[in-house]
Amino acid sequence: MLRNGNETFGLVTILFHWIIALLFIGQLVLGVTTQWVHSMALQFVLIQWHKSFGFLLLGLSILRLAWAGTQTRPRAVATLGKVERFAAWVVQSLLYLLLLALPMAGWALVSSSTLDVPSFAFNLVIIPDLPLVRSEAGENFWRGAHLWLAYGTAALVAGHMGAALRHHFWVGDNVLKRMLRPSRELDEPWR
């Protein structure tokens, strides 16, 4: 089942979810790694990869939002109370927003940088800079914004993962299973 149903997420939604999740985690690791590397040549390569995957993350996040706008939202699992439903909605909405804002802040960072280094997307195409003034103050602002958005997104992702695991292992409901398999009957035991 490609599309969402009333009870389950479809394959396209599930693929968007997990690909974006893995990209985000990989971007965190790559972003931190670039700060520990002492070789300027290696650091340049890693930063170009970080930018490439950041643009990919931005593009996939936009496509995911567009896809979500065309899909039925599966009903909430019956074990969720009103407060949990609201908290889940807030966290998911913030994740959508942050997964757009974070790569945009990174793009603004390189666009305002006084280094004026072009952004190569996977060594295939140069991504044009945003129309920002190049200045040390602008670069510092966007560096801080990018960093704090990364921290905030990581914290929300950790909470999101923790909630999903809590529901799977302690509550025993289908919150996690719905994002793992698109079309099986969710009343069946996990196989």
Of the candidates 154, 157, 139, 121, the one whose C-alpha atom is nearest the C-alpha of residue 28 is 154
| 176-185 tens-digit pLDDT | 999 998 865 5
Q: Report the share of the chain in percent with pLDDT over 90.
A: 91
The answer to whether residue 4 is domain-embedded is no
Which residues 6+ apart lie within 8 Å of 111 measured at CB? 129, 130, 131, 132, 134, 142
For residue 132, how many other CB atoms are within 10 A of its CB? 16
pLDDT at residue 103, rounded to an integer: 99
Tell me phi and psi for residue 121, to 5 degrees. -90, 105
Is 63 part of any domain? yes
Q: Tell me if 127 is assigned to some domain.
A: yes
Give the model's pLDDT for residue 82.
Answer: 96
Structural domain that includes position 34 = 11-179
53-68 pLDDT, tens digit per residue, is 999 999 999 999 999 9
- What local confidence, expressed as pLDDT, does residue 190 receive? 45
Q: Would the pLDDT of 186 be above 70?
A: no
Q: What is the mean pLDDT of residues 77-94?
A: 95
Instruction: For residue range 132-171, list pLDDT tens digits in order.
Output: 999 999 999 999 999 999 999 999 999 999 999 999 999 9
User: Does some domain include residue 157?
Assistant: yes
- In a domain, residue 187? The reply is no
**The domain spanning residue 161 has which CATH number?**
1.20.950
Quick check: 119 and 127 in contact, CB under 8 A? yes
pLDDT tens-digit profile of 18-59? Answer: 999 999 999 999 999 999 999 999 999 999 999 999 999 999
Sign of CA dihedral 119, 56, 47, 153: positive
CA distance 105 to 98: 10
In a domain, 188, yes or no: no
Q: Which strand (E) or helix (H) includes residue 121?
A: strand 119-121
On whether residue 147 sits in a domain, the answer given is yes
Q: What is the domain count for the chain?
A: 1
